[in-house]
Structure 1
Amino acid sequence: MKTIKTFAAVIALSVLPFASFAQSVTASATTLDGAEAQIAAKAQEMGASYKITEANFNNGVHMTAQLTK
């Protein structure tokens, strides 16, 4: 029983660092360039790189990106 608890704790702690590095951010602007500039600024502020996962243009731009270190 103690071995199972230890194994479960090791698994949980080993997954935690990967989850803490990825963060989703959003930005809204009137142009695609403006929204991407906001995402890039947030990524630079956090010392991370970014990958745009969604962009929607409907009377303005709403963009979502995933930040990774």
Structure 2
Amino acid sequence: MRKSRKSTATLLSHSAASASPNEIEEKMADYAREFFGDEASTAVAYCTLDAWFENKSDEYNTWFRVFKRLRQ
């Protein structure tokens, strides 16, 4: 069974409104690890590419930073 990708909005809605962008991105990375396990960086790379091809620069930048966190 294929797991569906959580949207940025879904991930952000679970974060505190007063959280910093770094805290939110770290939480997004945590959710990706929890949801996709060893394939988290691949899944987030697809999210990054999707945002790029849809010309959503803010979303692309967010996903790219999450991807970099996962690759560290």
Common fold: TM-score over 0.5:
no
| Structure richer in strand, relative to its length | 1
| Structure richer in helix, relative to its length | 2
- Tell me the TM-score normalised to structure 1 length: 0.31
Bigger relative CO (Cα 8 Å, ≥ 6 apart): 1
